[in-house]
Every structure is written in structure tokens, then in C-alpha cells.
Structure 1
Amino acid sequence: MARNVQSEAALEDEFIRRLRSIGYRFVKIPDVETLNNHFRELLSERNRERLGGVPLSNREFQSVMNELVGARTHYQVAQILRGSATQPVGKIEIKRDDESNLYLDLFDGRDFRNNIFEVSHQMTVMGLHENRYDVLVLINGLPIAEIELKRSDVEITQAFNQIIRYRSESFNYAKLMRLVQVFVVSNSNETRYFANGDGNLNSNFMFYWTDQANNRYNDLGIFTTAFFDKQRLHSLIAKYTIFDRTNQKMLLMRPYQIYATEAIIEQAKTHPHDNGYVWHTTGSGKTITSFKASQLLLRETNAEKVIFMIDRADLDLQTVKNFSAYLPETTSGQNPLDRIDNTEALVRQLASSDNGLIVTTIQKLNNAVSNDRYKATLTPYHDRRVIFIEDESHRSQFGEMRKNVNRWFKNAQHFGFTGTPIFPENVGQDGRTTADLYGKRLHQYLIKDAVRDGNVLGFSVQYLSTVSQKDGTVEDEQVPGIDTQEVWEDEDRVERVVQHILFNHNQITKQRHYNAILTVTNTRMALKYYRMFKKLDPKHDLKVTTIFTWEANELDNEAHQNDDAVTSRQGLDQVIADYNQLYGTDFSTNHFRSYFSDVSKRMKDHNDQTPEDNIDILIVVNMFLTGFDSKRLSTLYVDKNLQWHGLIQAFSRTNRVETDKKPFGNIIAYRNIKAKTDEAVALFSDGDSSGFLAPDYATLKPDFVDSIEKLLTIAPTVQSVDRLYDQGEEAQKEFVLAFRALLRLYNRIRVYDEFDWAQFEPRFSEQLLRDYQGRYYEAYQNVVKRQSAETVSVLDDIDFDISLIETDKITVDYIINLIAGIDTQSDEGRKRDIRKIERMLDNATTDSLKSKAELIRTFLEQQLPLLDADDDIGLSLSAFFAQSKQAAIEGFSRSHNLSVDFVNEQLADYAFYGKTNGGEVFQQLSGLSFHEKRRVKRELNDFIEELDPKYSLNS
């Protein structure tokens, strides 16, 4: 270790000193028993009067622990600090020994000064393994934050991985640790925080803390002073936590969301007659921010109603679902936020005193204030204080409906949320900008900030010329009139575009792990493209559909411009009929909303395991280009003119963060919209477009070549990787780092049209990448085994990007399909197919396939040559596996002097109960010593656990 690298111990001491300097008191807690006793002591101190001088008995304290961290999920435990419909904020109820009920105060969620803030160092938990926590922050004796620190030369993700390991190995042994709300990881120079929760935690959702101008507090010292300020930490726990009931997750808000919320509350309190707006880029989580702002506005101001207003009916349902998921559960179990289906229902909610928060569309609200039948009910709202929160309302908020609402709610205050404001450059016919409408910009978080923070992705944009003339490329703006329309809608051109998509879609979307939208100019073109996909892809290898709205009374001349002389609605009915046949549904344009919901679900819930349920490409005109969020949408094909906020909104459908496999949102433009893209990027980046666009192919290619050369310098051949194990872990580390760098670049460069492996051959090839990939996976597996054995390895300091190879992994099903398709008609074809399969087995990157590889090789070498040309290879493989499984059971039984029937009985117990019957095993082994019984029992358990994964073709 370099002498100038600060040790972990020194870093921990410095961190604790800083906490003590801002008012935390130090408490020594070496083990779980001390932690429990300390909590009991502070609990008694906080509740001295309630206890009436009678300390908690051991049974009563056990009741406290059961009530606090008994058979509860973390989601349920975390709610105790914030309260619910059945639980007061920060309190629990127990029954005393004398049968009286007692409320105990755990946490004051209103005033941070009424809580005790402490820090502890190096608490040890003896769980599955010995775990030693670097630093704990406690509030009133409860461990609220766990901090893991690493040296500056260690990747921060190793601290994350350590937390995950500790969480699984020791939280059940230290029950109070399940109250941890937030984790902090740092290597001194890089510091992040993330929420605790049930299930797997994702390192992509570690967040930076920043100031109000979005400048990161990366240095641990600055982070500590800002994030662990007692009032700030208290507000994060008590106020800026959100519970997602739908997904049963606790969410901690990000700093820009908190600052925007605080700015809105401050404006509402100090300037109740002045509006304001928040500019937070699309995809940054505006729904959470607007929900929390709405909730706090009701709680902390004298507003009678807070109305969240949207301008699109198709988003109404999703918005209500989101808001409902974040609201506390009610005692009745009913939806706490009823969706308003019509104007009359909206008026009832306005008249009711039970609903403080209302979600509606501006169209419904405009109908209410414009209809005389509701006048008596709504007249009182002329003077009552109402606060409106309006989301992405570029069209309706600038029209007559907004004016009508303003005239009725004269004492209202409006707060707008937008990812793409209206500026003088992109102003509409109304002539007003977002600032004209809302006044003060209260907070901004732009796409450059979100890309930098990893909250959204940048964009890779490729412009492909599909129409040329002698004087250059045709552009809509340059060649006016019907002739231009004929050029863009020409059948040959549409066919070329579809052929390009069919040829490149798999590569662009990583073998359809992701899906895409194709946006076109009108419904006529949507149907034209849909029919072209059917014509060129008759077997429906790609699942393509379209969705759009239609005019109620479409003109005949418009209809005749469609193929087959049908109206757009009739054309969509034909599309939906195909859709019903493909997916087994029963929709029509008479039930368009149901069709819309199903399309939306299939676009969001893209499934690698059941691809037959997916939509690969959705053709749209305007729908789904705003307000639709899906991590699995990676690509936008563009065959229409986009500009200003419409362009940014459309592009932003593709840039939701999933994992490292998705490097950016991919835009393939079949129109020359580069000038419009550059204008929009400049406008909505507020003068700084860094990070908005990914590097082009010409920039990435030299980096990719350099990464290839670096890898080949370290390991000139695939076989040479094996020799690195003899040279020590530093040599292995060099290989891992070099190949990881290559993988990361490959993951980015392969989506470009210009990418072709032929450019890098014979120096490097796709097959070589796969071969090295197998060695990379083996190195990762070795590290995992060392970690479970609690030994320290230099490779522990490396964050393996295994997720980068997951979309390319060779599965058991894939290999079975290849075996079933082996060419048995010719000796040369059979050998060629077998070589291909054996090479894939050598490079297996899934545990399931690696466990079966030896059996599959045996089948290929010994059984396949015995089959006739007409034999079913798939059935023969299944029979071979079944026979091999039975032979393994008989062999184990003989070697351990057990009957085959007994081993089969234990297999059945394991399949049903998840474990063998230990009592029966010991009884069966009555003639052996106790130690021999334990040995055989352990070997039987290991054999049974490994049997099905190894001999089953279904996993």
C-alpha cells in the first residue's frame, strides 16, 4: 500500500471526530448486547414520566423488541418512525406486566432537538460470520445509519458490497440493525448514500449529496458536515422519506428533490400570492418531488386544497396510481386517493372536507368551473386558498382553460414542474414563456446534472440519410409541397427504413433485451410502416404494433390516402385484430383505453424469460413520446421532424437508467434533424451541454482499439490467462481491469451502425471476446468463493461488471436448442455444430450451464455418434440426463451404504420441505458413530442440493 494513502482506521477516526464536532456524542458499543442495553437505557430515559418510576421489566423490554423488530419487513419497521393510520409517529404500544397499555416514545419527528444523536465505532456481530461495522450513527439509541469506509485506492462499490454481505449475514443476529434507514459509503474522495430496504439493493441507486446548485459533496469531510448535520439528517428521516406501497419499498429523496420541495414550501409560506416553477429534467423523478411538495403544503400551510393538475387524460390513471402508492395506508384499506373519472366526481371531491389532495386534468376542472350546474358548489372557492401543482402542461396551461381556472380560483397559487420550459426561442402562439406564466424559477436540475449523477443517461444520436437528390439530402423545410410528402412517404423509402431496422434491431437492443419506439408523422404513415413490417417480416420474428388516436369524423380524402382505402380507425381495428391473435387478447377501438393500458404494460414489463409477451417495436405518432417511463425502452427510431421541447421529450423516453448494460438512450434518425437537435440541446442545457450526447463512433473506435491492445499485452492468448494464476493476484487483477475496460467500451460501441467486427480482425474478433469473457467470469467466481470463505484478496478491491455480460450469456435453453438442431445429415456439419457448442461450454457464464457442461460434453462425445440421422436429439438428450441422474443416485447410495429408496425419499422431502429429514437420516445410520453420522448427513445434503441443478434440463 502506498504510504500516502490514508488507512481505513485513520479515516474512521477522522470521520468520528467531525461528527463529534457538529454535536454528536460518542458511545462505545462493542457488541449486540451493549447495543440493546444502550437502547433500553435511552428508551427508559425518554419515557421516564410514562413509566411512572417503574422500569421496564425484561419481559416488557422483550415486548418492545418484538413490537419494533419482530416478524416485520424492513418496510414495516421503517414506518414505525414515521407513523401510519394505525401507528402514531415514532411511538409503539406495549402491554405492561400489570396488563395496562403503555405508549413509548422512540423518536420525535417534529423537532430534531428533542432527539439524542450519537456515533459508535467498530461494533462486532457474530452471525454467519464475524462482521465488524465501521461506524454507526444512532438516534435515541436506534441505529439509523451505517457507514462503511475504504481507503482512497479502493473502489467505492467494495464498501457497497460489504454492506450487502453484512446485511445478509448479521442483521438477523442484531435485530436492531434492521432499523437502519440509510447507508453511507466512502473512500474519502467519493461518498454516496442509499436507502436500506427489503430484497436486493442496486448499486446504481447510490446517490451523491449536493448543494442547492447541484455541486457534489464528494469529499467525505464536506459530505459529513452537510449530510449529517443533525437537522438535515433528521429531516431526511422524518420528512423526506417516501413509502411506495405498490412495491413495498422505502425511498430516500435525492438532494435536488429535497431542495425543490423546500423552495416550494418556503415560497408558499412567505409569498402566498406569487407563483413559481421547478425545472427538473425529464426522468429525474418529478412525481416524487411533486407528491412530497403536495403532502407538505397540506401539512405546513393553510391551503384548503392542493390540486395536482395534469393536461393529458391518458396520464391521469398513472399519476393517481403513483400518488396513491406514496400515500399512507388507511384503516379501511381503501385507496387513499380516489381517481376522478368525471367532472361530477371532481366537484364532489372539491366539496368534501375529507380530500385535501386532488389529482385531476385541467380539462375536467375547466368543465367544472364553466358549467352553471356546479356554480353554487364552487363559488366559495373564489376566495379560498387553493394551491395548484401542474406537471408538464405546455399546451393547456397556456390556453383558455388556464385562464378560466384562474378567473374562478382568484386566491390560488400555482407551482409548475417542467423538464423542458418554454423560452422565447420555443414560444408558441400564446406568446408567453414559462417564466411569464409562473414567475420565479425556484430550483433547477438539468439533464447535464442528471447524466453526471447517473440518474438518467445521455443520448447517442445517429442521422441516416434515406433520401438523396443531386443537390443533397431532402429536408422537409427546404422542399415544400406535396412532392416532398410523396418523397418521405414513398413505398421504396419506407421499405428501406424497415429493412434497416430488421437488420440492425437485435444488435441495437442487445438481442431484444430492450425495446424501441418508431415515431412517424401521421396515422397514415403509422399504418404504412406497420404493413411494411408485416410484409418484410412475415413470420413475426419482431413483435411490432402501432397505437394512435383518430378523428371522430375523418374526411374521406384522408381515408383514401391510407392503404386499402380505410380510415385510420378502421386501419387501427385491423392492427388490434392482429394484436389479439398474437397475444390472446380481445380488444377493439371501442375499448381503446384497455388496449392502451395493455400496450403500455407490454412496453414496460419487457420479459427476457417470456419474450412472446413483449412488444419489440411500437409505432406511434405522438402518444408515448411524453410521460411514458420504461427502463427497458432503449431506442427511438425517428421518421418525423422534431424540435425544441418535443424533441427532448421524445428522446428522453430512452434514457432511463437500468443497469450498466444500458449505456445511453439510442436515437436512430431517418430525417436530417441534426440542426434541430443541436438547437434543442443548447437551449435545454442552459448553456452547458456536457454529457448530453454520447461520443460518436469515430471518437469511441480508437479507445476500443486501445483497450484491445492493452488486453492482448497482458494476456496475448485466451490460454495465457490461465498462466496468470501462477503469477499472483496482481497479474489477475491487471487482466480483470483490462477486460472490464474492454467490455465497457464494447457495450457502448456495438450499437453504432458503423460497428463491424471485420474492422478489428484478425487482431481481435467477436469469438475472442467470448473466449476471454469465460476467463473473466471464472476470475469473478474465484473472488466470490474467497469472499464467502472470509479471506482477503487483492481482487476484492475490484468491482466486477458481471452485468455487462448478462445480456450475452449463453443459457441452458440456448445450448439445448443448438443440440436439438445439430446437423446429423453430414459428418462435416455435425462436427462443425459440436465444435461450436463445445466452445460455448468452455465460455459458460452461468452457474447452471457450468454445472451441466461436463454431462453435455459426454453426451456429444459418447451418445450422439450412436444416434441415427432420424432420431430426435432433444429426446435423446433428456433421456441421457435422466439416466445419468439415476446412475448418480445409485452410485451415492452404494458408496454410503444407503438404500436407493431411502435416498429417493430424502430427495422428495427436500423437494417438498426444502430440507432433508435429519431424524430419519440419523436413524438410518444407527450403526455409525456420531461424527460419522454427521459426515454422511452433510454429504447427503450436499449431494441432494447439487443433484437437480446438475441433472435437470429445466434450470
Structure 2
Amino acid sequence: MFTEEETAKKPFMMYLTSLGWEYISPEKIDSLRETWKEPFILPIFKKKLLELNPSMGEEEADVVLQRIRNIRANIEGNREFLRYLRGQRTFYSKSEKRELNLRLIDFENPENNVFHYTQEFWMEDIKKDRADIVLFINGIPLFIVETKAPWLFNIVDGEVKDWRSHAVEQISRYHEEVPNFMKYFQMYMASNGLNLIYSATWNFNERNVYRWKTEEGKDYGLQDLIFSMLRKERALRFIEDYIVFFEQDEELSKFVLLPHQVRAVERIVNRAITGDARTGLIWHTQGSGKTLTMMVAASKIRRIPELENPTIIMVVDRIELQKQLVRNLTKFGLDFIVAESKVHLRELLKSDYRGIIVTLIHKFRGMPSNINTRRNIFVFIDEAHRSQEGDLGIQMRSALPNAFYFGFTGTPIDKGKIGKGTFNLFAFEDMKKYHRPYLDKYGIKESIEDGTTVPLYYTLAPQEYRLDRKTILEEFFRLYEEKGIASIEELNKLLDKVSKIKEVLKAKKRIKKVAKHISEHYKKFVEPSGFKAMVVAVDREACALYMEAFKELYEENPHSAIPPEEIAVVYTPMHNDKGILKKYHLKEDQEDEIRRNFKKRERPPKILIVTEKLLTGYDAPILQTMYLDKPMKDHTLLQAIARVNRPYSDGELHKTAGLIVDYIGIFEDLQRALAFDSKSIEGAVFDLEVLRKRFAELMGRAEEYLGLLRDNSRSWDKKLEKLVKVFSDRKKRDDFIQLFKNIQDIYEILSPDPFLRDYLEDYKLLLKLHRFIKAQFYPTDFERRELLKKTKELIRNSVDIETIVDGLPVYKIDEHIADTIKNERIDDIVKVYNLRRSLMRYIKEHQHEVPYLEFLIEKIESIIKRLEERQISAKEALEKVIGLSESAVESVRSYKESKLDPATFSVHWLLKSYGIEDVTVSEEITKILLSNEGWTYNQNLQQGLLRKIYRILKENGVKQVRERVKIGKDLLELGRRLIHDTRGSL
């Protein structure tokens, strides 16, 4: 059978053992820790602590342990403990009478550490939880693993979830219920026996839960994945290097590197150590975390002893990029120095400064040759393109002739001048030795497949707004290619020379018309979806003119236009600006506030108007649409449009694509707009027409399902019977739900495109079918969790979509239910699902009277699961559900006759099923269960409570110990439900 135990858990543990992780049974590990409140394997932890710190005595070890125990149980405490793990804390040695560096792990010598794992690991704090697998290094719990059955959907706590969501939710619950354990764990993983996903603890956003892949980036079996990720050396690397805390927007966040980032860092570090080449090009597509890769690699290189305290120089070519880099380095927590001038940079290099230097490439102008000839200098160049080819690049290499040079780019090598120059500078050695142009590559298509970025679509604005292609746009393309433009700064200088472009784009009538078109598009397509937008204008003055136009439109018609307070203009102020340009100057703190608020769903602004700032390095996942009114090409175009390629998911908002509305006409010739190798930009941007075709194709695939509803040869009740028969096949249901999800995702992007008009009625039919399946097969999860914003709006405006649910047959659950079912002339499989849904409704109506009824839900779902796995027949399943229905009716009838309160009656009904009918016994046990809710999370209190219950049971004829334990377990579960219900009524 494909159970969680057989398909995921056992293989996971078997592969850990193969890697040299030593297994400790749950019984043994419990004997090594005094209570379930103990996170550490103390004998191992203390032994390794003394071994790794020879100047530490028993007394100092106890002090260290107490300090670690006192760490706060939150994300700040988790960061503090990581500092302990990384050797960034000290202890006082009495023997040496001084502070010494504290070591909990030996990262340089993996064999000096011990690696253990266990299963069914109990954790007790606010509540009790049990983790599937826990991995320890030197007795410290560092990795927690959840294993799941390999079903696409599981019913969990009455909600339909896939295995991934369920695992993340469980990990999230651990943080709430056992925070004094989670403050030590650094990563969590989950597997369904096929895939391995992972993330940093204290981060439950599914956007930050990644699928592990092997070094080659290919999908292999679970064994390959675990061997790749959890071999001892790499497990240590995750702890030492690949977990990152970031202070962003005044909030502490935690991340772990993605597979491609881990791979790139390891390749850079390996090259630094071996020196097999002195250059390397890292292409990680825009939005995939290139800057973080660069910072982690720099941090790692700085700490490698054999590199003898190296110097790392981070080079950018624009002031805005330097500011962004400085912000990121500060958030990351790296020590660095900024070269304030050419003289300052010269002094740093001449004085043999060891550390991280941030500089603009322009500060190398006039730098003397051979100013520093050390071989342990590493130059990291961000967006390594045009600026590296001229005198500045030559002077930099002449000044540092023996340095390593690593180029980092978010765009691939192009076919023109820039591409040739980039290849010669950074890729030549790799091509010569390894027959590849990149030291590491993470392309656009791969990032979309991984969900690191979302696909981009473009649509051309009406012809009347676009540039004349034969004259103006052709001249722009020609000059762009001649000069080999690679940055926004160079692009701006080019646009200054092509005067016709700015004249056309900034004409007052045109600005007003385009602003009106943007307003209409935003109000129809973007605002209803809940996302935000960006207007890219040709220059700073155009930004201000657009703002004025939006204000004017609002004054003319406030009902159809965008309120000015929802729009913000961001550009670089100049000291000699006057008039309209000066009007929209922002102070630094104002700009910072706009940057922060734009990222937040509920905060204005909803639209940003920019021309240069925020077009590179700014990450706002809620940004979905870009209105492009600035000519761009190649690198500048890819960098700009990548602002809308970040995934976003928050409740009913689920961003599956970014959209570019082209007011220039750049995308009329995609090959000219993006002159890269076709494989490099595969999947970079698609015509929106492709999405329309995809929608039509998916609707065609849905035809087999639509036919079930259109079948007029059957009466409505027979049609419903047919639907139940078809979708009682779990795979058929899963296939439909996935197809519907794909169709809905596209509908959310396209709506209200007139293209959808011909499909609208069919889409509503699919919605009806989706509602039917959710109501009939997942009756405890009927809250439209899977429906997105525009689709929900369609339901609100189409009452008939609900009628399919209203028309579903409902059995009256009473003492005649067996006869009712028997007299129904329909298939048993249909009866099972109709009865199951009817019984669920009955339980929901009466569970406040008889909380015991909640026990039946688990039993019902167990029967359904066995039916769908073909362990029992439909006839057997029906008999069992009928039996539960009769039990439910009898319990409600007896409650109304008993005059007992709901809690006491529920205990009484449970005990009665074990043959104990004395009401006074039920009353006594109910008082014990409700006397102190502390037993629900305190093991000692729980054991004391059980002893009292066992004594009462024994006195009332339950002689067998095994029977008392079974009844006690049921009573505890019922007690938890009763306490929860009591809390809810307060």
C-alpha cells in the first residue's frame, strides 16, 4: 500500500542510515532525556561540548547550557542560537582565565561531529507534538522532517490539502505549540516519497518552501535527493553558510538558499580554493536571488582559512545599484566599507586592506597599474556587461592583475557587442576547459518551472499610442545596437540624443490619452485582482507629466479614475530642478516609506510611476502589471520587465503571471527586442495571445466534463447520480480539480477580456461542477478556499452557480435512515456519498449538543478512504456509514432525554460504548477532564489525570489494563475537544 510509513518515512530513514546518520529509537532517545520537554540528547551534547572546547570544565558547560536554554523562543532567539552554532559566541574559561570562542560544531572537520536521527520524537511545551523524523548534530536538534502519503489531496482536519500544504501547516503549528523546541531547529523538510521540499524554520510562506534538486538541477528519486541534500558535509554547510536572516521593512525574516544558489556558491568557493580558473560568469535569471548568492559566496570566501584573509571587492556601475547593494549587505549583516572616492579606493588597495569593499567601477579611473598584486583578491561584478569592456574595465584589471573576477548577471550573454565582450572577460576559461560559457546558470525557463519566478506576458497597446516603427523606433534600435547599451544610465543618454522619441512620448495630448487608457485597464483588469502596477515613463519629466494627467483625470471624473493618493512618483531629484520636476521631489525617508508600503497589499500606493529608480533590484511580489512607455531592449528590457515576475500568494490572491502593456511597440518584433540566444530566453515573455490560446486549449480538455452537465437525455437526479459515479474515482476528481485550477489561473489574468465572452457560460458550468465536487466529496471543506478573487466575484453575480449545490439530495438522518437508504433505487456508491454528506450536515447541526459526534467524522473519513483505496466494497462502506448514522441519531435522542449537560453526556455516551452506564461515573470523569486544562500540554498533569481515570475505571469493572488504556486514550481526546469547545463559548 502507498502509505506514509511505507512510501516516505521508512525510505527516508533508510537513506539517512546509508549516509552515516546513526539511528536512535524513540524509546532510547526518551531514556536519554529526562522529559519530553528536553530538546537535546544531553549525554551526547555535553560530551561533544567538552571535546570541542578543551579548556571548558563541567561547571562552564552547565553555564553554557543554561545560557542556551534561556534564549527567547521566537525568531530572534532562533537567530541568536544560529550565532552560537556558528561559533560567534564565547565562554569564560576558568583554567585560562579568559573568554574563548565557543564551539558547538566543528565545521572544518566533519568527522569530529556525531550525526543522529530518530522518529516519532515527542516535544512538550505549551502543548505536545510528535515530529516524524528529527536530525541531531552533536545532540542538538537542527532539522525536523514531516513525511506524508503520496496523494495529491488529503482530508486534514476537515480541509482538503495537498501533502505539501499539510506539511507546512504542521510545521507552523509546531512553532505555536512547542516554540522552546523550534527556537533550536534551523530547517524543516517534508517528503511524500517522491519529492523533497524544505525551508527555514520561522518561515511558513509557501513562496519560500523550495523543492530540492540534485547538483545537475534534474529530478531524481528520493534516494538521490537525500544523498545530495543531507550528506554530512552539506548538512553542515546549510548550518554554517546557507541559512540567512534579513532585517527587511523593520521585520526580521529568515531564509535558506535555493538549490541553484547552493550550487553556485559551492562552485565559486571551489574555484577560489583550487584556482582552476581566475574568472567565472554566474547567470541567475532576474528575480531568482542573484544578490543573495553573491553575498553568501563573499561571506564564505572571507572565512576560508587557506585563502589567508582575502579581500573582496564588490563592483557596480550605478549609484542606485550601489545604494541597493549597501542596503542588502547591511540587512545580511556583513561588515564592509564603501569606497567614497577614487582617492579612497586607491588608499584601500594600496594599504592592502583585508575585508569587503563596495565601489562604483568609475572609481578605478586613473588607478595605477599593479597597485595590489595579491592573488587572494576576489572581484565580484554585479550586472557584468558594457562597463567592463572599456577603459574602466582595463584599468581595474591592470590595477589588480592577479585577482579572481566573477561576473554576476540576471540576463544571458547576448549576440551583439556586449555578449562578445562579456564572454571574453568572464566565460572564456570555462568554455576552453569545460565547454560551457557559465560557471553556473539558472535560466528563465527553469526558474518558472521551479516557481521561483512566474511567466511574463505582454500585450500591445492600441496603435495610436505606439511609436512610428519605420522611422523613430527603427532609429532607436539601430543606435542601441551600435552603442551596445547595457544599463539604464546608458539608455537615458541615448534617449537624450534621439530627440524625436521624447517629443512624441511627452506630447501633452498623448500623455493624457495614455493615462486614460492606463486608468481604464487598471480599473478593469488589475484592481479587481487585488494586485498593483507600475508605469515606466521615458524620463523624469514624463513621470511628473503622468502624475499631473492622472490628477486631471480624477478631477474630471472621480468615479472612473484612479485617486491620486493611490499613485506615487519616484525618481532621482536634481538640485537644479524647477517647476513640475521639483514638485514631485521626495525626501529619502518619504521614498523609503513608499518602497515599503507598495509591497503591502492593503497600503497605498497601488501604482508607481518611475523611469530609472526601482527598475533594478526592487522586489515587490504584489506588483503584477507594468505599463511600459519607455523604449528598451535586451538587458535593460529584461531587467525592467522582471519587476513583475515575482510570485505572490496570499489567501484569494494568487499571482500566476506578470503582464506588460507595451505603449512603445517594442514587442512587435520580439526577436529584435531580445537579441539573445533563443534557448537562453525561452519562456522569457509571451504574447498574451498565447495565454488566450492556452485557455481555449484547456477549455477544450474540459469538454469531457462539461458534457456531463450538458447531457439532456437524463433527468436532473440521474445526472447527479452519473456525476457521483464518475467522480467517486479519486484520480478523476484530482485531474478535474487540477484542470480547473489551471483554467481559473488564466481566467484571473484575462478577465474581463472580451475574448472570454464565448467561454463564459462554459466557465460557469465548470464552476458549478467544481462546487458540486467540493460539496459532495469534501463536505467539511466547503468554504471556497481554492477560488480566486475574480472567480468569487463571478459567483456573487451568478446565483445559478449555487443551485447545483442546493439541488443535491439530502437524506433526513433519523431512526428510519436504514429504510430510507434501502428504498433508494440508485447505486450503492452514490448512496455512500449522499449519506456521508447528509450525515456531515447532521453532525454540524448537533455537535454543540453532543460534542461526541465529532468522533464520528474521523470514522466516516476512514471508511471513505478505505472505499477509495478499494479495501472495501461500496456495499460494505454503505453499511458502515448507515451504522454511524444510526449511532448519531441515537446519541442525540438520548441526550435530549438525559437532562445532562453536553460535556457530561458526551463522556457518558463514550463510556456507554464500553459498557459503563453509571451516570455518576461519567459525571466524576467529566469533572476531572475539565478541572484543569493544563493537562492538555503538561505531561505530568496528564499522567496524574490518567491515574485517577484508571482507578475509576478499575473500580467500575474494567479489569484489563489494555482496555483501561484504550478507554483513557479516547477520554483524553474527547476531553481536548470539550476544553476547546468551552474556550470557544467564552
Q: Same fold (TM over 0.5)?
A: yes
What are the superposed Cα offsets for residues 856-900 of structure 1, whole Å, 9 maximum, x if unpaired? xxxxxxxxxxxxxxxxxxxxxxxxxxxxxxxxxxxxxxxxxxxxx
Helix, strand or coil at the partner of 2:213: coil
For 1:184, the equivalent position in structure 2 comes to: 189
For 2:693, the equivalent position in structure 1 comes to: 698
Q: Does 1:122 align with 2:85?
A: no
Equivalent position amino acid for 1:618 in 2? I
Q: Does 1:461 align with 2:458?
A: yes
* CA shift in 2, pair 1:487/1:73, >3 Å: closer
- Offset at 1:278? 1.0
Within 5 Å, give how 1:201-220 maps onto structure 2: 201-217=204-220, 219-220=221-222
For 2:563, the equivalent position in structure 1 comes to: 541
Equivalent position amino acid for 2:691 in 1? D
- Offset at 1:356? 0.7
Equivalent position amino acid for 1:233 in 2? A
Q: Distance in 1 between matches of 2:983 and 2:130?
A: 34
Contact 1:20–1:26, Cα closer than 8 Å, also in 2: yes
Contact 1:80–1:91, Cα closer than 8 Å, also in 2: no
233, 236, 245: which is aligned to 2:235? Answer: 233
298, 311, 315: which is aligned to 1:309? Answer: 315
Within 5 Å, give how 1:136-147 maps onto structure 2: 136-147=134-145
- Offset at 1:121? 2.4
- Offset at 1:243? 2.9
Q: Distance in 2 between matches of 1:715 and 1:945?
A: 45
Q: Does 1:662 align with 2:655?
A: yes
- Offset at 1:504? 1.5
Q: Does 1:391 align with 2:397?
A: no
Helix, strand or coil at the partner of 1:122: strand
* CA shift in 2, pair 1:95/1:776, >3 Å: farther
Contact 2:217–2:260, Cα closer than 8 Å, also in 1: yes
Q: Distance in 2 between matches of 1:388 and 1:686?
A: 29
For 1:634, the equivalent position in structure 2 comes to: 624
* CA shift in 2, pair 1:249/1:515, >3 Å: closer
Contact 1:465–1:672, Cα closer than 8 Å, also in 2: no
* CA shift in 2, pair 1:157/1:107, >3 Å: farther
Helix, strand or coil at the partner of 1:605: helix
- Offset at 1:768? 10
Helix, strand or coil at the partner of 2:749: coil
- Offset at 1:761? 7.4
509, 517, 523: which is aligned to 1:506? Answer: 523
Equivalent position amino acid for 1:321 in 2? R
Contact 1:31–1:123, Cα closer than 8 Å, also in 2: no
Q: Distance in 1 between matches of 2:590 and 2:776?
A: 42
Q: Distance in 1 between matches of 2:469 and 2:101?
A: 80
* CA shift in 2, pair 1:709/1:178, >3 Å: farther
Which range moves more in the overlay, 291-300 or 343-352?
343-352
What are the superposed Cα offsets for residues 748-802 of structure 1, whole Å, 9 maximum, x if unpaired? 334337724971577367899699889969998935xxxxxxxxxxx9xxxx993
Equivalent position amino acid for 1:404 in 2? Q
129, 147, 150: which is aligned to 2:148? Answer: 150
Equivalent position amino acid for 2:323 in 1? L
Helix, strand or coil at the partner of 1:532: helix
Q: Does 1:573 align with 2:582?
A: yes
Q: Does 1:195 align with 2:218?
A: no
Contact 1:60–1:94, Cα closer than 8 Å, also in 2: no
Q: Distance in 2 between matches of 1:53 and 1:674?
A: 68
596, 617, 620: which is aligned to 2:608? Answer: 617
- Offset at 1:648? 1.1
Q: Distance in 2 between matches of 1:629 and 1:459?
A: 16
Within 5 Å, give how 1:671-750 maps onto structure 2: 671-674=664-667, 676-679=669-672, 683=676, 686-687=679-680, 689-690=682-683, 693=686, 695-704=690-699, 710=705, 713=708, 738=736, 741-742=739-740, 744-750=742-748
Helix, strand or coil at the partner of 1:477: helix
- Offset at 1:383? 5.4
Q: Distance in 1 between matches of 2:247 and 2:499?
A: 53
- Offset at 1:43? 2.4
Helix, strand or coil at the partner of 1:763: helix
- Offset at 1:457? 1.3
- Offset at 1:450? 1.1
Identity of aligned residues (%): 20
- Offset at 1:105? 5.0
Equivalent position amino acid for 1:357 in 2? I
Which range moves more in the overlay, 543-552 or 623-632?
543-552
For 2:299, the equivalent position in structure 1 comes to: 295
Contact 1:133–1:148, Cα closer than 8 Å, also in 2: yes
Structure 1 gaps, min length 5 = 329-335, 371-377, 554-567, 577-586, 588-593, 784-794, 816-831, 843-928, 948-955
- Offset at 1:183? 1.9
Helix, strand or coil at the partner of 1:641: coil
Q: Distance in 1 between matches of 2:326 and 2:177?
A: 37
For 1:532, the equivalent position in structure 2 comes to: 549
Q: Distance in 2 between matches of 1:54 and 1:403?
A: 53
Contact 2:127–2:177, Cα closer than 8 Å, also in 1: no
Contact 1:92–1:105, Cα closer than 8 Å, also in 2: no
Helix, strand or coil at the partner of 2:245: strand
- Offset at 1:78? 5.3
246, 252, 271: which is aligned to 2:256? Answer: 252
Q: Distance in 2 between matches of 1:649 and 1:520?
A: 15
Equivalent pairs counted in the alignment come to 763
- Offset at 1:158? 2.4
Helix, strand or coil at the partner of 1:683: coil
326, 331, 334: which is aligned to 2:332? Answer: 326
Contact 2:135–2:141, Cα closer than 8 Å, also in 1: yes
* CA shift in 2, pair 1:730/1:75, >3 Å: farther
For 2:598, the equivalent position in structure 1 comes to: 606
Equivalent position amino acid for 1:297 in 2? I
For 1:401, the equivalent position in structure 2 comes to: 392
Q: Does 1:802 align with 2:785?
A: yes
Contact 2:143–2:187, Cα closer than 8 Å, also in 1: yes
Contact 1:77–1:178, Cα closer than 8 Å, also in 2: yes
- Offset at 1:392? 0.9
Q: Distance in 2 between matches of 1:513 and 1:169?
A: 31
Contact 1:261–1:289, Cα closer than 8 Å, also in 2: yes
Q: TM-score, normalised by structure 1?
A: 0.67
Q: Does 1:22 align with 2:3?
A: no
- Offset at 1:455? 0.8
* CA shift in 2, pair 1:676/1:43, >3 Å: same
Helix, strand or coil at the partner of 2:632: coil
For 2:473, the equivalent position in structure 1 comes to: 476
* CA shift in 2, pair 1:351/1:172, >3 Å: farther
What are the superposed Cα offsets for residues 357-393 of structure 1, whole Å, 9 maximum, x if unpaired? 12222234437x38xxxxxxx9853557532111014
Structure 2 gaps, min length 5 = 35-39, 154-160, 431-437, 479-497, 807-926, 934-976
Q: Distance in 2 between matches of 1:485 and 1:239?
A: 48
Equivalent position amino acid for 2:72 in 1? A
Helix, strand or coil at the partner of 1:626: coil
* CA shift in 2, pair 1:762/1:350, >3 Å: closer
Q: Distance in 1 between matches of 2:685 and 2:27?
A: 48
Helix, strand or coil at the partner of 1:432: helix
Q: Distance in 2 between matches of 1:386 and 1:52?
A: 35
Q: Distance in 1 between matches of 2:641 and 2:581?
A: 25
Helix, strand or coil at the partner of 1:189: coil
For 1:282, the equivalent position in structure 2 comes to: 286
Contact 2:621–2:646, Cα closer than 8 Å, also in 1: yes
Q: Distance in 2 between matches of 1:345 and 1:807?
A: 56
Which range moves more in the overlay, 156-165 or 530-539?
156-165
* CA shift in 2, pair 1:777/1:497, >3 Å: farther
Helix, strand or coil at the partner of 2:372: helix
Helix, strand or coil at the partner of 1:614: coil
Contact 1:185–1:192, Cα closer than 8 Å, also in 2: yes
